[in-house]
């Protein structure tokens, strides 16, 4: 809901010179301007696409190929994930982790491998007990002091601890233990380990946005001596291809938003369509979800408009027909609304009509009703708060 609300006279042309005092939130304007309105007119050439496919198959073979030990396998899978290309190899990765889960090698139970195995398996939904870390405690129940010299192991334990669930005290202790010791040594480490530790202390893998983390890890992985050249090249090409798709999507959304002209028609409302797209890209970035990203960004944008109308501008009397119009969901209701509400009401219905038509092509038109019900629910909450 909107914040920073103050009472301002209704001198805006939107109010038709009404005498009442309106709540008005003082939102900052968008910082993006028309930056994303146009997209670079370039496409991935055929040679690059062919190289992308060739490298993809090479990486696929490496994922399933036997390796000297499970540590190598886990490291490779972790790199594939952190470089943001694991969506190409979902089944292969699941199969390899399934095999590791059922064939644990006691000879590979050092801190680094144990922590990495724990994190990857938990990330993929395997039931792994935190008791695997008990062996790293001394007789007094504290983590062994000898662990502090194993910085890669500490870093992996730190990352693994962020997949804890309620009641796992040993992982709560692990976060405190690893954080303290990593902070003590980070300044004395060499690159790229120093960068990995520094970045992790600011934000763990678990709390990062996949695309942002992938971009960061691309630069770090390049400087890791044992990096896989084919994987790195594939990840770079894939990142650029996907980024171009995202730019095209955002450009399309920004053109839609600019055509609505809400900046002039509804100056009280937030202009956060770019942030909305960024949010949804954090939910799912993969190319097959392109339609979902575009539709949900529009849904978020319209939800923000409705929110600001209720919370930051409209009077209680104006909200009565507005609330009824949303409940009836009928364009004929538009004539009962104040003039300034009409553009946003029509845009709201248009977004869900577009969604309905797209879902109908896939035989899933019924799903839009669930989305509309969410609008009804939020509308009721907004209206109750306005009373």
57-83 per-position pLDDT tens digit: 999 999 999 998 999 999 999 999 999
Q: Would the pLDDT of 136 be above 70?
A: yes
36 in a domain, yes or no?
no
359-369 per-position pLDDT tens digit: 999 899 999 99
15 and 113 in a single domain? The answer is no
CATH number at residue 352: 1.10.600.10
Q: Would the pLDDT of 106 be above 80?
A: no
Instruction: Yes or no: say if 133 and 172 are a contact pair by the CB < 8 Å rule.
Output: no
- DSSP per-residue codes, 192-232: THHHHHHHHHHS-GGGS-HHHHHHHHHHHHTTSTT--HHHH
For the chain, the domain total comes to 2
Residues with Cβ within 8 Å of residue 329, at least 6 apart in sequence: 349, 372
85 and 224 in a single domain? The answer is yes
189 in a domain, yes or no?
yes
137 and 227 in a single domain? The answer is yes
pLDDT for the residue 382: 84
22 and 55 in a single domain? The answer is no
CATH number at residue 153: 1.50.10.130
Structure tokens at 111: 């801190």
Classify each residue of 31-49 as buried b or exposed e, where b means 16 or more C-beta atoms within 10 Å of its C-beta: eeeeebeebeeeeeeeeee
pLDDT for the residue 20: 56
178-204 per-position pLDDT tens digit: 999 999 999 999 999 999 999 999 999
8-18 per-position pLDDT tens digit: 333 344 544 45
199 and 305 in a single domain? The answer is no
349 and 305 in a single domain? The answer is yes
Residues with Cβ within 8 Å of residue 270, at least 6 apart in sequence: 2, 27, 304, 308
What is the residue-averaged pLDDT of the chain?
92
216-249 per-position pLDDT tens digit: 999 999 999 999 999 999 999 999 999 999 999 9
246 in a domain, yes or no?
no
72 in a domain, yes or no?
yes
What's the mean pLDDT in 351-362?
Answer: 94
Tell me the backbone φ, ψ of residue 362, rounded to 5 degrees. Answer: -105, 10
266 in a domain, yes or no?
yes
Predicted structure pTM score:
0.89
Structural domain boundaries enclosing 350: 5-30+261-386
What's the mean pLDDT in 113-134?
Answer: 97
Residue with tokens 């937030």: 270
20 and 159 in a single domain? The answer is no
269-293 per-position pLDDT tens digit: 999 999 999 999 999 999 999 999 9
Q: Would the pLDDT of 107 be above 90?
A: no
pLDDT for the residue 26: 80
Question: What percent of the chain lies above the pLDDT cut of 70?
Answer: 94
206 and 338 in a single domain? The answer is no
For 57, 295, 345, 362, the CA distances from 358, given in Å and listed in that order, are 33, 10, 20, 7
69 in a domain, yes or no?
yes
């Amino acid at each position: 809901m909107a914040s920073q609300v103050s009472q301002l006279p209704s001198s805006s042309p939107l109010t038709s010179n009404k005498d009442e005092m309106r709540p008005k939130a003082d939102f900052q304007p968008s910082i993006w301007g028309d930056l994303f309105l146009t997209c670079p007119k370039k496409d991935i050439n055929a040679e690059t696409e062919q190289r992308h496919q060739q490298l993809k198959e090479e990486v696929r073979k490496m994922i399933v190929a036997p390796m000297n030990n499970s540590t190598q396998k886990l490291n490779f899978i972790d790199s594939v994930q952190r470089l943001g290309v694991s969506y190409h190899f979902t089944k292969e990765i699941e199969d390899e982790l399934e095999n590791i889960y059922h064939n644990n090698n006691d000879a590979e139970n050092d801190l680094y491998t144990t922590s990495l195995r724990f994190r990857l398996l938990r990330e993929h939904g395997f039931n792994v007990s935190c008791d695997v870390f008990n062996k790293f405690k001394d007789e007094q129940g504290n983590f062994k002091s000898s662990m502090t010299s194993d910085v890669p192991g500490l870093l992996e334990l730190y990352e693994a601890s962020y997949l804890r669930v309620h009641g796992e005290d040993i992982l709560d202790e692990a976060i405190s233990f690893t954080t303290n010791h990593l902070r003590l040594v980070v300044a004395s480490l060499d690159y790229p380990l120093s960068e990995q530790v520094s970045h992790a202390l600011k934000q763990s893998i678990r709390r990062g946005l996949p695309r942002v983390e992938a971009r960061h890890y691309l630069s770090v992985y390049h400087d890791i001596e044992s990096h896989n050249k084919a994987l790195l090249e594939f990840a770079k090409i894939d990142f650029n291809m996907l980024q171009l798709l995202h730019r095209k999507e955002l450009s399309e959304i920004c053109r839609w938003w600019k055509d609505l002209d809400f900046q002039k028609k509804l100056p009280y409302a937030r202009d956060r369509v770019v942030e909305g797209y960024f949010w949804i890209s954090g939910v799912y970035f993969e190319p097959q979800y392109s339609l979902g990203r575009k539709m949900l960004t529009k849904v978020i944008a319209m939800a923000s408009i409705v929110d600001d109308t209720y919370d930051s501008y409209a009077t209680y009397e104006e909200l009565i027909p507005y609330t009824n119009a949303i409940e009836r969901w009928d364009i004929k209701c538009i004539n009962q609304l104040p003039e300034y509400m009409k553009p946003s009401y029509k845009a709201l219905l248009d977004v869900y009509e577009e969604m309905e038509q797209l879902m109908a092509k896939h035989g899933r038109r019924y799903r839009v009703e669930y989305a509309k019900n969410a609008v009804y629910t939020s509308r009721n909450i907004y209206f109750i708060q306005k009373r």
